Amino acid sequence: MLKMMLPELPDYYTDDLIKNALKEDINYIDVTTDLLIQAGSRGEARIIAKEDGVLAGIGIASRVFRLLDSTAELTHMNDGQSFKKGDKIAEIKASAAAILKAERTALNFLQHMSGIATYTQHCVEAVSGTGVQITDTRKTLPGLRVLQKYAVLCGGGCNHRFNLTSAAMIKDNHADFFGGSVSTAIKTLRERVGHMVVIEAEVRDFEQLREAIDAGADVIMLDNMNTDMMREAVKITAARAKLEASGNITLQNIRETAETGIDIISLGALSHSVKALDLSLQLRTCLHKQTHC
């Protein structure tokens, strides 16, 4: 499967997220590790897959270890790679204390992001051959949006707008301020927005769909329409705007939705309720036999 080139998540952007997570978990002392593990002990560990999946967040997990031990050495699979149950995802050589302190934070990021990438890949595979794009939404966990949207890319999906500045999107509540007139909202916004800004409009019925088309919306979201309505919407639109399906779409009905002829399927479930992937860290050995791990 061809996936888009993955961007690199820069340390200056993600370090605050990681440090906050470490501070939340460690506070100022790990009363088990700091009082049990002899200073200077070195350890070797590996991260093992407990189920099949797609990797996302290995750079974040690696950074967790390196923030606690700048001498940490890691070899690992790459984000976007598929793996099987039992595969070795990564190997870590570092301070034994750093490995033990970093374990939960690193796995929290890695399991959550890999869960998103894995579910995204299932959705992408389900619509294979239809030409439909699978995208995320803004239904993300506060503070983790960049990581969750990156994980969607790792699974072969695409990103919807990152935030309210990225693109204009007229929702039903916006249109209601104009008496429910989608066309008035689009025309008013078009007069005020910059030429580089895409305008998307959410519609609930065919009357609003026709309004959005005539007003020049770039993308039209078909909100909670069934597949029969979507097929009719495709005919009405006649490729004059891109059509996005959203609402009540699952892995079970996503193929049927894609085959209606729409262009985009957006799923909040990619980020707001995805199951974390089962990965585990195993501290295998102490590298210095004279110390205790």
* Catalytic annotation, residues: 104, 139, 171, 202, 223
DSSP H helices in 136-267 = 145-154, 172-176, 182-192, 206-215, 227-237, 254-258
3-class SS of residue 176: helix
Using alpha carbons only, what angle is made at residue 106 by residues 104 and 111, rounded to the nearest 5 degrees?
90
In sequence order, which residues have a C-beta less than 8 Å from that of residue 47 and are 6 or more positions away?
61, 76, 88, 89, 90, 91, 92, 107, 110, 279, 280, 281, 282
Pick from 66, 67, 73: nearest CA to 92: 73
Angle between helices 96-126 and 11-26 (to 10 degrees): 120
**Would you tell me the crossing angle of helices 11-26 and 145-154 to the nearest 10 degrees?**
110
SS3 call for 28: coil
